[in-house]
Amino acid sequence: MVAVKGRSDLAISSLTQLGLTDRNGVVRITPNFRGKDLDVDPWGDAPADIQFMLADATITMTLVHIDRTVLDICLSESMAGAGAIPGGANGTVGTFPRAGSRMGNNTPRFSPNGTLNPSTGQVTTGNHYIGLNLSGPVSNKPWRFFFAYLAERPLETPIGVERSTFQLTWRAVPYTQDPWAGGTQGPGFGALGYALWDYNSDS
């Protein structure tokens, strides 16, 4: 089962089922570790050590039983709100926001849209990242990605007389409002203790 949770002013403000994988479908979770070689002359072209430079994750899935309304919300949110309007709604799915619109907008997780600025005609938008929750009856160990969105080529589905399957590609990132973490632990504190995923579920 794949479930999602989004902004507090959306129809997915509580944990909502997106869909089920088909019989042969597999959800694939791929953490993408980032490393930087530390090169020194005495070690030639091989690194003497590696700096771990955090990570993101790619999650791919094929769903056969899916809620199209929930999918449209996820698509709109993955386009940075897709032209958000007052009252918590989004623009029409497939409609662009302004180029350069941000996903997190320096707001906390699940923050709602704000109000219309009459001088610009724009809405103060909230946090558009989606909580992605995965569960299965065999492993009995859920996965929760805190800040996910449908990425790059987010959706592929055949349209025809046979059953439709939806191939989705998600990306989970270590979004934060404060990369410096307030400097409370001194220089270099940064992402220490940050969770990209855990084994709980949103409520």
Lowest mean pLDDT among 28-32, 137-141, 147-151, 198-202: 137-141
d(CA 101, CA 91): 14
pLDDT exceeds cutoff 70 at 122: no
- Could you report the per-residue pLDDT of 138-150, keeping only the tens digit for each? 667 899 999 999 9
d(CA 136, CA 114): 36
CB atoms within 10 A of CB 139: 10
pLDDT of residue 115: 63
Mean pLDDT of 49-57: 95
- AA identity, residue 29: I
DSSP for 112-140, written as a single string: PP--EETTTTEE------EEEEE--TTT-
**59 versus 82: which is more confidently predicted?**
59
Rg (CA), the chain: 19
**130 versus 80: which is more confidently predicted?**
130
- Could you report the per-residue pLDDT of 58-71, keeping only the tens digit for each? 999 999 889 999 99
Selection from 88, 61, 63, 87 nearest residue 73 by Cα: 88
pLDDT exceeds cutoff 60 at 188: no
Which pLDDT band, with edges at 50, 70 and 90, does 113 fall under? confident
d(CA 64, CA 19): 7
Which pLDDT band, with edges at 50, 70 and 90, does 88 fall under? very low
Alpha helices (H) in the chain, listed in sequence order? 68-78
d(CA 91, CA 88): 10
- Could you report the per-residue pLDDT of 6-24, keeping only the tens digit for each? 999 899 999 999 999 877 7
- Residue 95, judged by CB atoms within 10 A of its CB (0-12, 13-18, 19+), counts as exposed
